[in-house]
Structure 1
Amino acid sequence: MPAVRLRAVLTVAVAAGSGFACHRSSPPAPVTSDPAPDANDPALPPGSPAYSAPLCSHDQLLGGLEPTHTNTRFEHALLRETVLKQTDTGVRPQQSQTLASVGLACQTVTDVPACARLLASTVATTSLFAGSNPLQVRYLVLQSGANVRPIATRSQLLTLLGAIDTPGEARLLAATLGVQPLCGDDSVRSIDGGYRVITKRSQAQCTNQYDGVIVDVVRGQPTIVNTVDLRDRTLACTTAPTP
């Protein structure tokens, strides 16, 4: 092959190779991890470990009511449940049970039996904690000296607590929305102006299935800010008994 023609062929081949190199795709960008969740974001996915914490017991919930820390001092407090009966003249208490207590009862009174009788007979017909059964109410009973009174509304509870400045108080106030606070190490988190409380709530159709509910307690007001479906589809549905 003549030298001139060979040089031309080589020139075309080199040019073609250079063009291929120019159009080669760039290497993929390195994979980066997802950004860390925002601490102020109320959304927690259904599989979040936060929802695996145990529900607070009645004693743990009432433990948020510290006699030396409340706005109104008291010696003894009860978490009481009362079953009501509808009559022609309105609802009437049928039977009551004490679910939890804190403090020592009737320690500073001269007539202890009278104080004990008053504690046992003090009931309410409205519920401090929202629920699906209007004939089953839960509330607090406070005793200070010879004075015994029920706490059956959120405004009464706020008057008792004053500023909400402990995780236990935030849990107790969140529970008035009808949710069940969790008692894990990270179930109450500080946020601007208050606390974020991680809770669960039984679903209306199946009482053994739950929604995860995030409640913000800010300046004394509990507000549901997020709800997720936590249904376990491997469980058979358990329905609530008819009132």
Structure 2
Amino acid sequence: MAVVAVLVITGAVWGATGSVRREVPAQGILTHAEGSIYLQSGYDGQITAIFAATGASFQKGAPLFTVQDGDRQYTIRSTTGGRVISMFARAGEVVARGTQLAVIERIEEQSDPLVAMVYLPQASAGLVRSGSLVDLTVRSAPANQFGVLRGRVRSIGQFPETQQQIAEFLGDEQLARRFATQGQPLAVVVELFPGHTTSGFKWSTKDGPPFQIDSRALVSASIHLPPIRPIEWVVS
């Protein structure tokens, strides 16, 4: 009976003064805050030249394609600084006005910071606050070797996003389907903590991975919630 009494008292004290860590899981991707755009042809004709390949970076106004329509040749320029994420067009292809030629990740300045765009199911949205700490497992940098990337919630979308809205922002319909599997999620922007590592970011390990972390890397997020006392479960 004495042992049972000690256990009961210990449990009661822990229930009143202890705390239980809570987290909300979500899926996302590393990108830049401006997202991506679909570059479309403004002309009918044949593509005669392509000036950028997938992965290439360029400034606003840079020529990306030329389109020949009879005796006239048109140059299609980028409306934003950025990088080619996907290239759809091929030299010699005949295109119509409005044809999607490429997906451009918008990067107005090369110093624009990388962020994590995380898609949070609506059922968990009410638990997360701006400033909440976030651990990000980066698919290209296994956590069991390099740890997790550290960050915090910068902002939370006011309204749920449709699959189409996600696709337009990311420039990727397949990813949009993946992030919208549980319905219309809220977009959460996670800023990454800077660190003195090869990647330039703070990790749970001292050095993190010995390579750069690029945009478009998929991440799994664990968003930290305020701890709760066990007794609150009983009361609620």
Higher relative contact order (CA 8 A, sep 6+): 2
Q: TM-score, normalised by structure 1?
A: 0.27
Q: TM-score, normalised by structure 2?
A: 0.28
